[in-house]
Amino acid sequence: MLRALYSEHGGPLLGYVLRLTGGDRPQAEDVVQETLLRAWRHPEALAGRPVRPWLFTVARNLVVDAHRAKRARPQETGMDEHAMAAHAGTDDIDRALESWTVAEALAQLSPTHRAVLVETYYRGRSVAETAEELGIPPGTVKSRTYYALRALKLALEERGLAP
């Protein structure tokens, strides 16, 4: 059965999957193989219906699933352990430098803006809690937060950190 399916539908199915995969022949061949394997495992799905549309639908679903899975996974780097350790050290240094730069930018803000950002972002307080802590109305907390974030973004852009 599998040989007959492949000889009758294999060529057109491979051409269709090649178009779906952007010409990636190894991936297309894997999809065709998996599609035919599913047809062989589930002959009841083919009974009483045209075979080719079913095969094309299964192949399309496999390509879509593979694309989604690829997007959901982080990219593989191909670095060895030594390179990964060196890279991790660089990340720590970069994070420390960024923290230092953010602290400098915060210091550049007005005391009222800095206080609102410290309470809401660094201490994780809500607007109501921040208003109570600073002794100001909740609406003032919201507006100060808005303007403080704009001023912080500008200060970070001047230092080359923000887009």
In tens, the pLDDT along 89-147 reads 556 777 787 888 888 888 999 999 999 999 998 889 999 999 999 999 999 999 999 99
pTM of the model: 0.44
Distance CA 156, CA 100 (A): 11
Domain boundaries, the chain: 2-72, 99-158
Query: Alpha-carbon dihedral of residues 80, 82, 87, 92, nearest 10 degrees?
Result: 140
Q: CATH classification of 2-72, choosing from 1.10.3470, 2.30.130, 1.10.1740, 1.10.10? A: 1.10.1740
In sequence order, the 6+-apart residues with CB closer than 8 A to the CB of 56 are 13, 16
Please give the CATH topology (third level) of the domain spanning 99-158: Arc Repressor Mutant, subunit A (1.10.10)
